Copies of this chain bind each other. A is one copy, B any other.
Amino acid sequence: MPNPTAAMLVIGDEILSGRTQDTNTNHLARALSAHGIDLKEVRVVADEQGAIVAALNALRERFDHLFTSGGIGPTHDDITADSVAAAFGVPISVREDARAALEAFYRKIGGDLTPARLRMARIPEGARLIDNPVSGAPGFSIGNVHVLAGVPSVFRAMVASVLPTLRGGRPLHSETLRAERGESEIAEGLGRLAAAFPALAIGSYPFRQEGVLGTNIVIRGEDPKLVAEAMARLRALLLGAGGDAASVRAEAGGE
């Protein structure tokens, strides 16, 4: 059975204006790789309902899961929940369990559930809440769409809440080999290696570090044995082509 697929939709003017560097995508990508869900596409759109709804509908139809980040706070520019309700064509209103979660949170920190805060209890009909241990206001899942906060610490907590509830596949296994050789010197050999291992993804990423020109070669696949076999062939290829052991360094494991 192939791994489930996923897409990510980042909602936020602050990413598009360059004010904020998005880091949620990278966090989700790593978590999904480890869980055996393949992230296939990412989109970033502005805080505009038309753009959000169009992206929601395009992505939830094409992939097994869609994760969103941003736009579920208490202010006027937080329009993600309404956009999700519009995309699914369902009503949205304050839900009692979400209100209770917020009330409990604000009681704990000594605040009131003001009308602005209550806005965060508005949940599209038919959704399941996602726990937010950091700041109270819940995320939610509806159909195959998982709606998470944009603040990185809250986003991460919500990923940790929702990911274990999703069926995973085979985690992506990767090994990286660092070669002190320009990418174009090894391109032909890499091409032959990729053709010999069609089940693996073989990527090459040039770098320039302290005057040294080199290439990180990453072999990714679901079968660790096959990855190791391709890596052994790669090492032989580089050593055979005049490389010495010191210029070729492997790091197995984490993507």
Of the residues B15, B25, B187, contact of A74 by C-beta under 8 Å? B187
A18 pairs with B30, CB closer than 8 A: yes
Cα A28 to Cα B22 in complex, Å, equals: 13
- Which single residue of chain B is at the shortest CB-CB distance from A77? B203
Is A165 an interface position by the 8 A CB rule? no
A183 proximity list for chain B (CB < 8 A) = 73-75
* Identical copies in the complex: 2
A73 pairs with B206, CB closer than 8 A: yes
A146 to nearest B CB, angstroms? Answer: 17
Cα A182 to Cα B184 in complex, Å, equals: 53
Is A162 an interface position by the 8 A CB rule? no
Given A45-B41, A116-B187: A17 touches B220 (CB 8 Å cut-off): yes
A205 pairs with B21, CB closer than 8 A: no
Is A16 an interface position by the 8 A CB rule? yes
Given A17-B39, A19-B218, A114-B184: A73 touches B33 (CB 8 Å cut-off): no
Given A19-B255, A117-B184: A205 touches B41 (CB 8 Å cut-off): no
A90 proximity list for chain B (CB < 8 A) = none
Pick the interface stretch among A125-133, A188-196, A224-232.
A188-196
A169 to nearest B CB, angstroms? Answer: 14
A190 pairs with B75, CB closer than 8 A: yes
B42 pairs with A174, CB closer than 8 A: no
- A-side residues, CB < 8 A to B, are 10, 12-23, 25-33, 38-47, 51, 73-77, 111, 114-117, 119-120, 135, 151, 153, 172, 174, 182-188, 190-191, 194-195, 201-208, 218, 220, 255
